Structure 1
Amino acid sequence: MKPWLLLALLLAGSAQAAEVRIDIKGFMFDPQPLQIATGTTVTWVNHDPIPHTVAESGHLFRSGALDTDDTFSWTFTTAGTFQYFCTVHPQMVGTIHVVPST
Protein backbone atom coordinates (compact mmCIF):
# COMPACT_ATOMS: atom_id res chain seq x y z
CA MET A 1 0.00 0.00 0.00
CA LYS A 2 1.25 3.44 -0.86
CA PRO A 3 2.20 5.55 2.21
CA TRP A 4 -0.10 8.40 1.12
CA LEU A 5 -3.05 6.01 0.90
CA LEU A 6 -2.38 4.63 4.37
CA LEU A 7 -2.15 8.19 5.72
CA ALA A 8 -5.46 9.05 4.05
CA LEU A 9 -7.09 6.02 5.67
CA LEU A 10 -5.73 6.99 9.08
CA LEU A 11 -6.87 10.60 8.75
CA ALA A 12 -10.33 9.68 7.47
CA GLY A 13 -11.28 8.02 10.75
CA SER A 14 -13.63 5.77 8.84
CA ALA A 15 -15.86 3.42 10.80
CA GLN A 16 -14.88 0.65 8.38
CA ALA A 17 -11.73 -1.19 9.43
CA ALA A 18 -8.74 -0.88 7.13
CA GLU A 19 -7.02 -3.79 5.43
CA VAL A 20 -3.35 -3.81 4.44
CA ARG A 21 -1.37 -6.40 2.50
CA ILE A 22 2.23 -7.45 3.05
CA ASP A 23 3.80 -9.32 0.15
CA ILE A 24 6.29 -12.10 0.79
CA LYS A 25 8.67 -12.21 -2.15
CA GLY A 26 12.37 -12.70 -2.64
CA PHE A 27 12.70 -13.90 0.98
CA MET A 28 11.50 -10.48 2.21
CA PHE A 29 8.37 -8.92 3.70
CA ASP A 30 7.21 -5.83 1.78
CA PRO A 31 6.52 -3.11 2.85
CA GLN A 32 8.91 -2.69 5.77
CA PRO A 33 8.42 -1.27 8.30
CA LEU A 34 4.67 -0.75 8.33
CA GLN A 35 2.58 1.68 10.41
CA ILE A 36 -1.14 1.05 10.82
CA ALA A 37 -4.02 2.06 13.10
CA THR A 38 -5.63 -0.24 15.65
CA GLY A 39 -8.40 -2.30 14.10
CA THR A 40 -6.47 -2.80 10.86
CA THR A 41 -6.30 -6.29 9.39
CA VAL A 42 -2.96 -7.21 7.85
CA THR A 43 -2.85 -9.99 5.27
CA TRP A 44 0.44 -11.58 4.29
CA VAL A 45 0.58 -13.14 0.80
CA ASN A 46 3.36 -15.56 -0.14
CA HIS A 47 4.56 -14.97 -3.71
CA ASP A 48 7.69 -17.11 -3.37
CA PRO A 49 7.82 -20.64 -4.84
CA ILE A 50 8.67 -22.10 -1.41
CA PRO A 51 6.74 -22.10 1.90
CA HIS A 52 7.09 -19.36 4.49
CA THR A 53 5.43 -18.62 7.84
CA VAL A 54 4.55 -15.47 9.76
CA ALA A 55 5.18 -15.58 13.53
CA GLU A 56 5.07 -12.68 15.99
CA SER A 57 8.11 -12.65 18.29
CA GLY A 58 5.99 -12.51 21.47
CA HIS A 59 3.80 -15.45 20.36
CA LEU A 60 0.75 -13.25 19.65
CA PHE A 61 0.13 -15.00 16.32
CA ARG A 62 1.67 -17.66 14.12
CA SER A 63 0.61 -18.89 10.72
CA GLY A 64 0.98 -22.37 9.38
CA ALA A 65 3.17 -22.95 6.34
CA LEU A 66 2.10 -20.64 3.51
CA ASP A 67 2.60 -22.15 0.07
CA THR A 68 2.69 -19.99 -3.06
CA ASP A 69 -0.29 -17.59 -3.13
CA ASP A 70 -1.47 -18.68 0.35
CA THR A 71 -2.47 -15.95 2.80
CA PHE A 72 -2.55 -15.34 6.54
CA SER A 73 -4.45 -12.47 8.19
CA TRP A 74 -4.33 -10.88 11.64
CA THR A 75 -6.32 -7.95 13.04
CA PHE A 76 -4.30 -5.67 15.33
CA THR A 77 -6.54 -4.50 18.19
CA THR A 78 -3.94 -2.92 20.47
CA ALA A 79 -1.30 -0.26 19.89
CA GLY A 80 2.38 -1.17 20.07
CA THR A 81 5.31 -2.37 18.03
CA PHE A 82 5.17 -5.93 16.79
CA GLN A 83 8.17 -7.82 15.42
CA TYR A 84 7.55 -10.89 13.28
CA PHE A 85 9.62 -13.39 11.31
CA CYS A 86 9.48 -16.53 9.18
CA THR A 87 10.11 -19.60 11.33
CA VAL A 88 11.49 -21.47 8.30
CA HIS A 89 13.84 -18.61 7.34
CA PRO A 90 14.52 -16.61 10.55
CA GLN A 91 16.56 -14.00 8.65
CA MET A 92 13.23 -12.81 7.22
CA VAL A 93 11.97 -10.21 9.71
CA GLY A 94 9.40 -7.46 9.78
CA THR A 95 8.02 -4.75 12.05
CA ILE A 96 4.53 -3.33 12.39
CA HIS A 97 3.92 -0.15 14.39
CA VAL A 98 0.28 0.04 15.51
CA VAL A 99 -1.00 3.46 16.59
CA PRO A 100 -4.37 4.19 18.24
CA SER A 101 -7.10 4.85 15.69
CA THR A 102 -8.70 8.27 15.71
Structure 2
Amino acid sequence: MKMLNRRDFGLAVTAAILSPVTTARADDMDVHIDNFVFQPAELKIRTGTTVTWTNRDDIPHTVVSVGKFRSKTLDTNDKFSFTFTDAGDYKYFCSLHPHMTGMIKVE
Protein backbone atom coordinates (compact mmCIF):
# COMPACT_ATOMS: atom_id res chain seq x y z
CA MET A 1 0.00 0.00 0.00
CA LYS A 2 1.38 3.39 -1.02
CA MET A 3 1.59 6.11 1.63
CA LEU A 4 0.28 9.54 0.64
CA ASN A 5 2.55 12.52 1.09
CA ARG A 6 1.13 15.66 2.72
CA ARG A 7 0.29 17.31 -0.60
CA ASP A 8 -1.58 14.25 -1.96
CA PHE A 9 -3.35 13.72 1.37
CA GLY A 10 -4.42 17.38 1.37
CA LEU A 11 -5.74 17.08 -2.19
CA ALA A 12 -7.68 13.92 -1.30
CA VAL A 13 -9.25 15.57 1.75
CA THR A 14 -10.13 18.69 -0.25
CA ALA A 15 -11.73 16.61 -3.01
CA ALA A 16 -13.81 14.70 -0.47
CA ILE A 17 -14.99 17.90 1.19
CA LEU A 18 -15.87 19.64 -2.08
CA SER A 19 -17.64 16.64 -3.63
CA PRO A 20 -21.21 17.67 -4.61
CA VAL A 21 -22.51 14.11 -4.17
CA THR A 22 -22.98 12.48 -0.78
CA THR A 23 -23.40 8.73 -0.40
CA ALA A 24 -25.16 7.27 2.61
CA ARG A 25 -26.19 4.00 4.21
CA ALA A 26 -29.76 3.41 5.38
CA ASP A 27 -29.55 6.16 7.99
CA ASP A 28 -31.29 9.46 8.27
CA MET A 29 -29.81 12.19 6.06
CA ASP A 30 -30.16 15.96 6.07
CA VAL A 31 -30.47 18.47 3.25
CA HIS A 32 -30.22 22.15 4.14
CA ILE A 33 -31.89 24.94 2.22
CA ASP A 34 -29.65 27.98 2.39
CA ASN A 35 -29.17 30.94 0.02
CA PHE A 36 -31.69 29.47 -2.46
CA VAL A 37 -29.71 26.20 -2.74
CA PHE A 38 -30.36 22.61 -1.64
CA GLN A 39 -27.16 21.37 0.01
CA PRO A 40 -26.03 18.82 -0.88
CA ALA A 41 -27.60 19.13 -4.31
CA GLU A 42 -27.44 15.36 -4.82
CA LEU A 43 -27.57 12.45 -2.39
CA LYS A 44 -27.00 8.77 -3.04
CA ILE A 45 -28.80 6.69 -0.44
CA ARG A 46 -30.12 3.19 0.19
CA THR A 47 -33.79 2.27 0.35
CA GLY A 48 -35.25 2.84 3.79
CA THR A 49 -33.36 6.09 4.32
CA THR A 50 -35.26 9.12 5.61
CA VAL A 51 -34.16 12.48 4.23
CA THR A 52 -35.02 15.64 6.18
CA TRP A 53 -34.91 19.04 4.52
CA THR A 54 -34.46 22.08 6.80
CA ASN A 55 -35.10 25.62 5.57
CA ARG A 56 -32.29 27.84 6.84
CA ASP A 57 -33.28 30.79 4.64
CA ASP A 58 -35.29 33.70 5.96
CA ILE A 59 -37.91 33.23 3.23
CA PRO A 60 -40.27 30.29 2.55
CA HIS A 61 -39.42 27.32 0.33
CA THR A 62 -41.02 23.98 -0.62
CA VAL A 63 -39.68 20.54 -1.53
CA VAL A 64 -41.56 18.87 -4.41
CA SER A 65 -40.93 15.71 -6.42
CA VAL A 66 -43.80 15.46 -8.89
CA GLY A 67 -45.92 12.40 -8.16
CA LYS A 68 -43.74 11.35 -5.20
CA PHE A 69 -43.80 13.91 -2.38
CA ARG A 70 -44.68 17.54 -1.63
CA SER A 71 -43.91 19.55 1.49
CA LYS A 72 -46.02 22.32 2.90
CA THR A 73 -44.47 25.78 2.63
CA LEU A 74 -41.43 25.72 4.93
CA ASP A 75 -40.71 28.87 6.91
CA THR A 76 -37.32 29.48 8.54
CA ASN A 77 -36.18 26.40 10.51
CA ASP A 78 -39.18 24.32 9.38
CA LYS A 79 -38.44 20.73 8.37
CA PHE A 80 -39.89 18.19 5.94
CA SER A 81 -39.02 14.47 5.96
CA PHE A 82 -39.59 11.68 3.47
CA THR A 83 -38.60 8.00 3.69
CA PHE A 84 -37.45 6.49 0.40
CA THR A 85 -38.78 2.94 0.12
CA ASP A 86 -38.27 2.42 -3.63
CA ALA A 87 -35.06 2.55 -5.67
CA GLY A 88 -34.82 5.19 -8.37
CA ASP A 89 -33.92 8.79 -9.13
CA TYR A 90 -36.02 11.46 -7.42
CA LYS A 91 -35.64 14.91 -8.95
CA TYR A 92 -37.08 17.65 -6.76
CA PHE A 93 -37.42 21.43 -6.71
CA CYS A 94 -38.86 24.38 -4.80
CA SER A 95 -42.25 25.28 -6.27
CA LEU A 96 -41.80 28.89 -5.15
CA HIS A 97 -38.35 29.18 -6.75
CA PRO A 98 -38.20 26.58 -9.58
CA HIS A 99 -34.53 27.26 -10.30
CA MET A 100 -33.78 25.50 -6.99
CA THR A 101 -33.36 21.80 -7.81
CA GLY A 102 -31.92 18.67 -6.27
CA MET A 103 -31.67 14.92 -6.77
CA ILE A 104 -31.96 11.89 -4.51
CA LYS A 105 -30.60 8.65 -6.03
CA VAL A 106 -31.90 5.62 -4.16
CA GLU A 107 -30.10 2.28 -4.56
TM-score, scaled to structure 1: 0.80
**Could you tell me which of 32, 46, 51 is aligned with 1:42?**
51
What residue identity is the alignment partner of 1:43? T
What residue identity is the alignment partner of 1:65? T
- Give the secondary structure class of the aligned counterpart of 1:89: coil
- Give the secondary structure class of the aligned counterpart of 1:44: strand
Deviations 1:29-87 (A, max 9, x none): 00121100000000000000000000003x21000100000000000000000000000
What residue identity is the alignment partner of 1:60? K
The Cα of 1:93 is off from its aligned counterpart by 0.3
Give the structure 1 partner of residue 31 of structure 2. 22
User: Alignment length, in residue pairs?
Assistant: 88
Matches within 5 A, 1:1-102: 10=25, 17-57=26-66, 59-99=67-107
What residue identity is the alignment partner of 1:30? Q
Mapped partners of 1:67, 1:87: distance in 2? 14
Mapped partners of 1:33, 1:39: distance in 2? 17
**Aligned sequence identity (%):** 50
Structure 1 runs, 4 residues or longer, greater than 3 Å off: none
Can you give the 5+ residue segments of structure 1 that lack an aligned partner in the other structure? Answer: 11-16
TM-score, scaled to structure 2: 0.77
The Cα of 1:18 is off from its aligned counterpart by 1.0
Can you give the 5+ residue segments of structure 2 that lack an aligned partner in the other structure? Answer: 1-16
> Which of these two proteins has the greater Rg computed from alpha carbons?
2
